[in-house]
Structure 1
Amino acid sequence: MSERPEAPVLRLFPQALEAFGHHVRLITPHQWPAPTPCSEWSVRDLVNHLTAEQLWVPELLMGSTVAEVGTRFDGDVLDDDPAAFWQNAAEAAEEAFRVPGAAGITVHLSFGDVPATGYCAQLTADAVVHTWDLARGLGADPRLSDELVDFALAEIDSWGDLAGTGLFAPALPVPDGASPLTRLLARTGRRDGP
């Protein structure tokens, strides 16, 4: 009996975390309070957001509900070594998705139950967009592969009206022939360029 092929998102998730982690490792002490394209978040706030997301993964993949996890990952989850704390959280999240059978479970999220691969797709798309945000906040090249950008664009397009959620700025218009990255950013209310 052959094993089921791995869902593409399970291969892309570590790549998205590594792209974000690459930029976390570039942060100098004076850059932590710097602004990002996320108007409410500094560089530290953005890293905190993605770190907290990764801390949820092992809990949710073990079957915990949002109510059971409670407020454990609310607020500032970063320690005095944010880069190391990010790395530990990212590694734990990756490991949780590598547990045999993890891809086939149902995850209990605040808006309902979803397959683990669907949850992983959401996390991957979020990491891709926030890698761009972090790179912009640092004045660095986001170094996002075409495959990650294409995946994130397809995933986010499937979410419907993003601005209506209150979590995203309104989508921006894009010119004909715009690159997938420009379309992804515009879909999430961001502009690629100065």
Structure 2
Amino acid sequence: MRQVRPDQWGSSTPCKEWSVHDLVNHLVYEQLWAPELLAGCTVEQVGDRFDGDQLGDDPVRSWVLAAAAAREAWISPKALIRPVHLSGGRSTSVEYGWQMTLDLGVHAWDLARAIGADERLDPDLARTLLEYAREHLAEFAGSGIFGPSVPVPDDASDQDRLVALLGRTP
């Protein structure tokens, strides 16, 4: 996020309906939800508290603060043993963690692609997220969360397979 130049906030991203600003706002929004959900709040209890623009005049600072709060929530002793209430229903916090990690990993690639930065994900992370995405693809299908899969060559990297599986053109 620190690499986004002022003139790039309105640039398009691989997420067809989002600009760079919209994408970063989504990431901040998701981070803001984490402490609430990991504390046991329901979607109804949180309500529309995080709707709208969360970036203000300093998008990077908004990200740093939201990510720090989410990190603190994730490292709390009860974070991984408490169920969470997601928009799709009750889930384990471990599953929620996987969903968040997939979202962050793929959107890191989206952001890098949009601003012309280094797109490389850690190879172990890409492989692990690809395995997770393959296992859960049926759950994503038709949800609108990700676009339709894009074909890749047989020798494509795990990262290229991951982003293609989730509707991006590597």
Equivalent residue in structure 1 for 2:165, among 148, 170, 187 = 187
User: Aligned equivalents of 1:114 and 1:47: distance in 2?
Assistant: 25
Q: Deviations over 1:98-156 (max 9, x none)?
A: 11121111001111111111101100011000001000110111231012111211221
After the TM superposition, list the runs of 4 or more consecutive aligned residues in structure 1 that deviate by more than 6 angstroms: none
Residue 87 of structure 2 corresponds to 110
- The one-letter amino acid paired with 2:156 is A
**In the TM superposition, what is the alpha-carbon distance from 1:163 to its structure 2 partner?**
3.7
RMSD: 1.1
Residue 170 of structure 1 corresponds to 148
Residue 44 of structure 1 corresponds to 21
Residue 91 of structure 1 corresponds to 68
TM-score w.r.t. length of structure 1: 0.84
**In the TM superposition, what is the alpha-carbon distance from 1:191 to its structure 2 partner?**
1.2
Equivalent residue in structure 1 for 2:103, among 95, 102, 126 = 126
SS for the counterpart of 2:129 is helix
User: Aligned equivalents of 1:160 and 1:123: distance in 2?
Assistant: 15
TM-score w.r.t. length of structure 2: 0.95
Gaps of 5+ in 2: none
User: Aligned equivalents of 1:31 and 1:87: distance in 2?
Assistant: 19
Identical residues among aligned pairs (%): 51
Equivalent residue in structure 2 for 1:149, among 119, 126, 132 = 126
Gaps of 5+ in 1: 1-23
- The one-letter amino acid paired with 1:68 is Q
Equivalent residue in structure 1 for 2:59, among 68, 73, 82 = 82
- The one-letter amino acid paired with 2:125 is L
State the aligned residue count. 169
- The one-letter amino acid paired with 1:40 is E
